[in-house]
Amino acid sequence: MSDEGAVRTHRDGAVLHLTLDRPGRRNTLSHNMTGTLVEVLSAAAADDTLRALHITGAGDDFCAGADWVSTNAGGSERPRTANLVRRIPHTSHRVVELIHDIHLPVVCSVRGWAVGLGCNLALVSDFTVAAADAVFWEPFTSRGFSPDSGASWLLPRLIGVARAKRMLLLAEKVSAGDAADWGLIHQTVRREDFDATVTQLLARLADGPTVALGLAKQGIHHGQHSTLGQAMKQELFNLELSCRTLDFKEGLAAFGERRTPDFQGR
């Protein structure tokens, strides 16, 4: 593997695992890695055989953010004005949007550092499980530039404005324990329980009614910027769709027969 790193994919039944594989650089995302994430997530969004996604990092850390050092290294011709405005919406921002919008549950497992873009990948996932030694850090202002990749949108919604300012304006690091207590992430667990906890959560989600889960996720996101009436109207449309699925029929049958439903994701 080159110094550019890679995004490794592995399929286990209906679960697709994505591993950020650049451990020598704490899995900082190179331009090629970000492009691969866009491609893989776009394909996953259209794959009816998938029922859950898992994003993790190789080695001791999850992801130390975008690789600004290599991207901005000297010796190359200065890019055109507004280079960031033209490029980032189709790279790192697109990755965040895809994780947010995909109609599949996304689990992120975090060991060690989750920094900048890496932190935001964890925050935009539906469930983030962190090892007890994990650290979440938004270092943008400490490096002299303003937050990006959804940080200013995600943090106030997850933990409130006051704590968001601590993370974004003061660039405070947040331990895994505090992140779980604040509601920044789903759960923190001991290292020895980490893999088993992630595996169990993925299995539970992959065995669920996939269409209903996707619509419920979409409804939660819609409700963050709508009135109560608008949210309930969207719920009705989602309900109409979910009631047309085979999993809905299975759920009713299982309820009537007093058994656990066997959802097929259809």
- pLDDT score at 92: 83
pLDDT recorded at residue 1: 47
Residue 162 gets the label, from left (phi > 0), alpha (psi -120 to 50) or beta, of: alpha
pLDDT at position 93 is 87
Nearest by Cα to 118 from 5, 2, 1, 3: 5
How do the domains of the chain map onto residue ranges?
A: 6-206, 210-256
Q: Show the low-confidence residues of the chain (pLDDT under 50).
A: 1, 73-75
Tell me the pLDDT tens digit for each residue of 36-86.
999 999 999 999 999 999 999 999 999 998 886 655 544 456 656 555 656
Model-level pTM greater than 0.95?
A: no
Asked whether 194 and 109 are in contact (CB, 8 A), the reply is: yes
- Sorted by sequence, the CB contacts under 8 Å of residue 178 that are 6+ apart come out as 184
- Report the top-level CATH class of 6-206: alpha beta
Instruction: Give the pLDDT of residue 3.
Output: 79
Please write the tens of the pLDDT for every residue from 1-18: 457 899 999 999 999 999
